[in-house]
Structure 1
Amino acid sequence: MATTVVNDGARSIRAIALFEAAKGLLALAAATALAIVGPASLRASVGNAMAALHVMDADGARPSLLDRITTETVDVAILVIVLYGLMRLVEAWGLWHHRVWASWLGCLGAAAYIPFELYALWRHPDWLTWGVLLLNLLIVAILARDIARRRR
């Protein structure tokens, strides 16, 4: 019976590791796409989207926003996205190899999103918002249980 619980726990941890790896790879793909597109194309695409959606056209917010899409700001965005992706991949590796630091990193990382998800749920109570909140709560519970199990 105890073996089943450990195996189920290990499977859950591995599932979280795969989820984190997917997020890391997706972030690296997004950073690569942003680097390929570059600031000029990004500025044109954002401008076209804002014009099509009639977003803040009258008060001059569109030119102000578009002026902030520069080589420097895009480079900073790429750096932040790459760091996020690498952090997720390191966490995934640690979870896959049953490292306690990875359980801590994952638990704290997932828990950090919960206040924002509660706010989103308060503002937009739909099934997707509920699903994201419940998924993060499940991840926190699984990783916290893993940490507690290791302390015993």
Structure 2
Amino acid sequence: MTADTPYDPRPHAHPGLHAIALFEAAKGLLALLAASGLELLGPAPLVRWLQELTSRFQLDPDHGALAWLSQTINPDSVHLAAAAVLAYGLLRLLEAWGLWRAKAWASWLGCISAAVYLPLDVYALFRHPGWLSTIVLIVNLIVVAVLARDLVKRRR
């Protein structure tokens, strides 16, 4: 590629774009399944599950995050949560489609959305060191690097 030839990602799309697209599509499909599950189950099983957690870990059923959560679960909150998870899933699927087709906007979307999590990943690594938090940080760093590389190549 010469300096005066514009970067066309389609003929030589980086295999990393396709790998990230598949990963994002999997996240999107899981989110759609979760949203469907929330709508199908409704609030009753969620409240029962929280009560079981509270009793299993011998937590105070009247105080704490689990108590607050079990009090706020109702049909409206479940519908709202399902709608938020549905929107997240659709956004991930849209990003996956764009990355598969090597669209610049999808690289921007993916790079920004992965970079937003990096400070939280670093915090999690220091707060809970282990192989899982290390892998999550490394994967997000790779995603940001691959998408940033694609964006830099497009600008040349």
**Fold similarity call, TM over 0.5:** yes
Cα RMSD over matched residues? 1.9
Q: CA deviation at 1:63?
A: 4.4
User: Among 125, 128, 131, which residue is 2:129 paired with?
Assistant: 125
Indicate whether 1:138 and 2:145 are aligned: no
Q: CA deviation at 1:90?
A: 0.2
Q: Which amino acid counterpart does residue 24 of structure 1 have in structure 2?
A: G
Following TM superposition, where does structure 1 have runs of at least 4 consecutive aligned residues deviating by more than 6 angstroms?
A: none
Indicate whether 1:114 and 2:104 are aligned: no
TM-score, normalised with respect to structure 1: 0.90
2:4 aligns with none
Q: For residues 19 and 138 of structure 1, what CA distance do their matches in structure 2 show?
A: 12
Q: How does 1:49-60 map to 2 (within 5 A)?
A: 49-57=53-61, 59-60=62-63
Paired residues in the alignment total 147
More helix by share: 1
1:48 aligns with 52
Q: For residues 75 and 83 of structure 2, what CA distance do their matches in structure 1 show?
A: 12
Residues 2-32 of structure 1: per-residue CA shift (max 9 Å, x gap) = xxxx85x521100000000000000000111
Which 5+ residue runs of structure 2 have no aligned equivalent? Answer: 1-10
Q: CA deviation at 1:64?
A: 3.6
Q: CA deviation at 1:78?
A: 0.5
Q: How does 1:3-152 map to 2 (within 5 A)?
A: 7=12, 10-57=14-61, 59-61=62-64, 63-152=67-156
Which 5+ residue runs of structure 1 have no aligned equivalent? Answer: 1-5
Q: CA deviation at 1:117?
A: 0.6
TM-score, normalised with respect to structure 2: 0.88
1:3 aligns with none
Identity of aligned residues (%): 48
Q: Which amino acid counterpart does residue 112 of structure 2 have in structure 1?
A: L
